[in-house]
Amino acid sequence: MGYIIYLFALAPIVALPFVFSLWKEFQEEKRVKQMEKLLPNVLEKISFLPATVSFKDMLEIFSKAQRQEPDPLSREFAICSSKIKRGMPPQLAIEEMRFGNSLILSQAKKMLVQFYKNGLPTATVLREMADQIIALQEIARETEASTSMQKYSLLLSAAILVPLILALLYTISLQASSLLLFIAKSSSDVQSAVFISVNIYLVVFSLLVSLFIARQSGKAKSFITYFLSTAPLSLLVFHLTALLV
Amino acid sequence: MQFLQQIKEQRKAREVEQVLPLAIFSAYADALTGAQPREIVQNLSSGFSSLSAEMEKVYRAIERGFPFELAVKKVDSKSVYFKDFLSELSALQEGLSHSNASGLKKLAAEILSHHRSELKRHASKSGLGGLLFVAFGAVMPALFASISLLGSVIGFSLTAVEVFIVFLLVFPLVNALVLVYLDYTAPKVIV
């Protein structure tokens, strides 16, 4: 049990820098998600502007709206507008908008460049675009909901179910082995090999599950969080169950 | 060898279909704002992983002077929807489709509806996948641990090295294979 206590003492220290970087990543992701959600609304709002409004005027209108009702997307419009006012070429100012890794927002950037080059499209076109974005966001949400069930069941199996089953059968077999001492006593080499292997196997199992979930959610860095939470937990469940049985 | 090639092509087609809804949206938005099909192809040549690689082939062919419909035929994909998308772009180029790119809109709706039915199919299968994973991940290793400890009762003795090999190589490999299968069958749309 000694090394388990060391493991639990070390885990938070090792995890701290990762937790901090993940927290920052989480905040950025939240900001990007919020912007994605607001995008169809913004397109709708642009569609209500009179046809005579230029691209720069449109940015200015959103900058003003930002002062009354701040949101991350309007903030980006305000920053873009102020950069253009300070003399930055509009195309470059649009390129510098902080839209994270979002593919849909990078499409929005391309759309803004088109709006700047060709003028604002008609209200019908803008509404069509908003509808398409809403449809895409809906399917992304449905996909996420469909895969999240599998994700949580895998995490649960790595952290609790697998170590529990292993600990139960391992302890019962070990007890049976000592009861059947005269006919079935396995060598101490095999006993310690099974014990060490099961412990390493639990860590490898958590590693595989963490890698799989991180890959499936498209967030490679989240692998560390999953691994650092499932591996110690599975070892703890295994040792506690083995002690209690 | 041919089998591996087929798997590779299917995987590529899947990768293309993952980003296809967004690529169609991008093309649709470009078409609505008055971009020409050539420009649409150029815009799709970056930022859409495997799909962009295919679109780059088309764009290069156009640059070399191939007519649009011939350039589009340079793409060799197993994805039916991707082929439909390229046909829509050809129709747009030939002026067969209306300037509002309604064909692209219809295709996007069709792909999204197909994806919804895939999601439903996956929901029914995912329970079985989870069960399979727990069976391979927990039940088999637990039974093996028991056999290793009580092996001599059934006349099946194992050495420590064999125990290590099975636990640290065979079981992780089987688990990895089940996870690869689950990953392969999981629906994905990148937005």
Q: How confident is the model at residue B141 (pLDDT cuts 50, 70, 90)?
A: very high
Q: Please state, as a whole number, how many other Cβ atoms lie within 10 Å of the Cβ of residue A63.
A: 18
Q: Cα–Cα distance between A159 and A177 in angstroms, integer?
A: 27
A105-119, A199-213, B18-32, B72-86 — which is least confidently predicted? A105-119
> What one-character-per-residue DSSP string does A163-216 give?
HHHHHHHHHHHHHHHHHTHHHHPPPHHHHHHHHHHHHHHHHHHHHHHHHHHHHH
Residues of B in contact with A139 (CB under 8 A): 21, 112, 115-116, 189, 191
Q: Does A178 touch chain B (CB under 8 A)?
A: no
Distance CA B41, CA B21 (A): 15
Show which of residues 85-104 on chain A sit within 8 Å of chain B, judged by CB atoms.
Answer: 103-104
CB contact under 8 A, A162 and B138: yes
Extents of the domains making up chain A: 28-121, 146-244
Rounded to whole angstroms, how far apart are CA atoms B134 and B116? 27
Distant-in-sequence, close-in-space partners of B67: CB < 8 Å, separation ≥ 6: none
Closest Cα in chain A, distance from residue B59 (Å): 18
Average pLDDT, integer, range A177-182: 70
Residue B165 has what pLDDT?
A: 94
pLDDT, position B187? 76
CA distance A101 to A97: 12
pLDDT at A185: 56
What one-character DSSP code corresponds to residue A158?
A: I
Min distance B188 CA to chain A CA atoms (Å):
7
Yes or no: say if B82 and B48 are a contact pair by the CB < 8 Å rule: no
Q: Are A206 and A159 in contact (CB under 8 A)?
A: yes
All residues of chain A having their beta carbon less than 8 Å from the beta carbon of residue B126 are 146, 149-150
Nearest C-alpha in A relative to B186: A147
**What's the pLDDT score for residue A166?**
93
Contacts of B135 in chain A (CB under 8 A): none
Q: Which residue has the higher pLDDT, B60 or B151?
A: B60
Nearest CA in chain B to A207: B172
Once rounded to an integer, what is the mean pLDDT over residues B63-85? 86
* Residues B21, A139: C-beta atoms closer than 8 Å: yes
What pTM, to 2 d.p., does this model score?
A: 0.73
User: Per-residue pLDDT for B99 more than 60?
Assistant: no
Give A-chain residues touching B146 at CB under 8 angstroms.
169-170, 172-173
pLDDT at A42 over 70: yes
pLDDT given for residue A145 in this prediction: 81
Provide the pLDDT confidence category of residue B96 given band limits of 50, 70 and 90: low
Specify the pLDDT at position B190. 65
- pLDDT over threshold 90, residue B118: no
pLDDT at B71 > cutoff 90: no
Q: How far apart are CA B144 and CA B4, in angstroms?
A: 33
| Mean of pLDDT values over A117-135 | 81
CB contact under 8 A, B134 and A174: no
More confident residue, B43 or B170: B170
Structure-token match 């993952």, residue found: B18
The answer, for B115 touching chain A at a CB cutoff of 8 Å, is: yes
**Helix runs in B33-166, H state only:** 37-44, 49-63, 68-72, 80-93, 102-134, 140-150, 160-165
Contact call for A172 and B146, based on CB within 8 A: yes
| Mean predicted confidence (pLDDT) in B14-26 | 87
Contact map slice: A 38-67 vs B, CB within 8 A: none
Of the candidates B29, B123, B171, which has its C-beta nearest A111's C-beta? B29
| Cα–Cα distance for residue pair A212/A193, rounded to 1 Å | 28
Question: How does pLDDT run across A66-88, given as a tens digit for each residue?
Answer: 677 788 888 888 888 889 889 99
Q: Are B103 and B91 a contacting pair, CB within 8 Å?
A: yes
Which residues are within 8 A (CB) of B89 and not within 5 positions of it... i.e. 6 or more apart? B27, B37, B40, B41, B68, B72
A208 and chain B in contact, CB less than 8 A: yes
Query: Environment class of residue A113 by beta-carbon count within 10 Å: exposed (0-12), middle (13-18) or buried (19+)?
Result: middle
Band (A160; pLDDT cuts 50, 70, 90): very high
Residues A66, A81 contacting (CB under 8 angstroms):
no
Report the alpha-carbon distance of residue A29 to residue B12 in Å, rounded. 28
Cα separation, A123 vs B58, in Å, equals: 32
On the question of pLDDT at B174 being above 80, the answer is: yes
What average pLDDT score do residues A112-137 get? 82
Per-residue confidence band for B97, with pLDDT thresholds at 50, 70 and 90 = low
Residue A227 CB-density burial (10 A; 0-12 exposed, 13-18 middle, 19+ buried): buried
Whether residue B119 lies within 8 A of chain A, CB to CB, comes out as yes
- Given a cut of 80, is residue B21 above it in pLDDT? yes
What value does the mean pLDDT of chain A take?
Answer: 83
DSSP at A97: S
Q: B33–A118: do the CB atoms touch at under 8 Å?
A: yes
Other C-beta atoms lying within 10 Å of the C-beta of residue A46: 20
* Secondary structure of residue A138 in the 3-state scheme: helix
Residue A182, pLDDT above cutoff 60 = no
Whether the ipTM is more than 0.85: the answer is: no
- pLDDT for residue B166: 94
Q: What is the predicted pLDDT for the residue at A238?
A: 94
pLDDT-derived band of residue B6, with 50, 70 and 90 as boundaries? confident
Q: Decide if A115 and B33 are in contact by the 8 Å CB cutoff.
A: yes
Q: Does residue A135 belong to the interface with chain B, where contact is any CB pair within 8 Å?
A: yes
**Is 70 exceeded by the pLDDT of residue A8?**
no
Residue B68 pLDDT > 70, yes or no? Answer: yes
* Predicted pLDDT at B140: 92
CB–CB contact A114 B29 (8 Å):
yes
CA distances from A70 to A73, A75, A112, A148, B85 (A): 9, 7, 20, 32, 39
Determine phi and psi for B75, rounding to 5 degrees. Answer: -80, 130
Q: How far is C-alpha A36 from the geometric centre of its chain's CA atoms?
A: 15
In order of B6, B8, B9, B184, B186, the CA distances from B3 in angstroms are 5, 9, 10, 17, 22
d(C-alpha A61, C-alpha A53), whole Å = 10
Half-sphere exposure of A118 toward its Cβ, with a 13 Å CA cutoff? 16
Which ranges of chain A does DSSP label H, i.e. alpha helix? 2-47, 55-68, 72-85, 90-95, 103-118, 123-156, 162-179, 181-184, 188-216, 222-244
A192-242 pLDDT tens trace: 899 999 999 999 999 999 999 888 877 777 888 889 889 999 999 999 999
Q: Which has the minimum average pLDDT: A157-166, B125-134, B175-184? A: B125-134
Question: Hey, of A168, A212, A217, which one would you mutate to test binding to chain B, going by the most B CBs within 10 A of its CB?
Answer: A212
Considering A22-26, A217-221, B106-110, the range whose residues carry the highest mean pLDDT is: B106-110
Q: What are A69's two structure tokens?
A: 């009702």
Q: Is the pLDDT of residue A12 over 70?
A: no
